[in-house]
Structure 1
Amino acid sequence: MRIVLTYGTFDLFHIGHVRLLQRARTFGDKLVVGVSSDKFNEEKGKKSIICYEHRAAIVAAMKDVDDVISEDSWNQKETDIKKLNADILVMGDDWEGKFDHFRDICEVKYVPRTHGISTSQLKEVLKPFSSKEISDLKDSFTTLENFIRQLNG
């Protein structure tokens, strides 16, 4: 069994995230996804709109995903690769070359990003909205999470 490992924040889940997970799954038999914790995102200077628990649940609801783990630090990847006995680390091509140092313990693949969509772009669009409108959007994501779960049965 070939184990594939990938990581991401997966905030404001969108088609680019879906495609990353679909592409990652094509490289193996089992896909494990590290979702960045809220604390780790803060350390990276990011502020997620959707909390870790909901982002992890949305990712876990995808049919291509077999397991979700919390990503809590930059140094965790090497430990996870070894612990999970991962065969392949898959990252978006915006990280091209940044994880080549893992090639001695697993295969590293960089997959193309989906052009025209990113969480950063979505956050720019959301800037003019009020806190109430953002809260309503979060509720909509919870509804989306439940819908995805129902689709995946």
Structure 2
Amino acid sequence: MDKRSVRVWMDGSFDLLHCGHANAIRQAREFGDELIVGLQPSADIVVHKGPPVFTESERHRLLAAVKWVNQVVDRAPYGTSESILDQHGCDFCVHGGEW
């Protein structure tokens, strides 16, 4: 019998992707078999943090290139809900120290 993959959700703005982001992503990936990263839209980032430096498309491409990321979900809401986890088949969510 095949074991089901454990899917982990992590979301954030990931503007100016840096080694702290990469380390958090690496650690998140260690909790499961697949890491799904939700990318928050620029409009939400403006409200909560200030204007982003990179566009959503640039941030998506940067995240997609990270070897521990299996999938990038665009326009993820600012704040994770059980419905988002269910929608993407994720078993649980991880967050960095900011929250």
Fold in common (TM above 0.5): yes
Which of 49, 55, 61 is 1:57 aligned to?
Answer: 61
- Give the equivalent residue in structure 2 for 1:86: 90
| Equivalent residues of 1:9, 1:35 under 8 A apart | yes
Q: Which runs of 5+ in 1 are unaligned?
A: 96-153
Q: Which runs of 4+ in 1 moved over 4 A?
A: none
2: CA distance between counterparts of 1:65 and 1:12? 17
**What root-mean-square deviation, in Å, do the aligned CA atoms of Structure 1 and Structure 2 show?**
1.6
Which of 27, 32, 37 is 1:23 aligned to?
Answer: 27
Q: How does 1:96-107 map to 2 (within 5 A)?
A: none
Q: Which runs of 5+ in 2 are unaligned?
A: none
Per the alignment, do residues 71 and 79 of structure 1 end up closer, same or farther by CA in structure 2, a change over 3 Å counting?
Answer: farther
TM-score normalised by structure 2 residue count:
0.86
Cα shift at 1:82: 1.1
Cα shift at 1:42: 2.1
Cα shift at 1:76: 5.6
2: CA distance between counterparts of 1:18 and 1:45? 20
Computing the radius of gyration from Cα coordinates, the structure with the larger value is 1
Aligned length: 95
| Equivalent residues of 1:40, 1:72 under 8 A apart | no
> What are the Cα deviations for residues 71-127 of structure 1, in whole angstroms up to 9, with x where unaligned?
3433663321011221120101231xxxxxxxxxxxxxxxxxxxxxxxxxxxxxxxx
Which of 50, 65, 79 is 1:46 aligned to?
Answer: 50
- Comparing 3-12 with 81-90, greater Cα deviation is found at 81-90
TM-score normalised by structure 1 residue count:
0.57
Q: Alignment identity in percent?
A: 28
> What are the Cα deviations for residues 25-56 of structure 1, in whole angstroms up to 9, with x where unaligned?
00000100011111221232421001110011
Are 1:68 and 2:57 an aligned pair? no
Report which of the two has the higher share of helix: 1
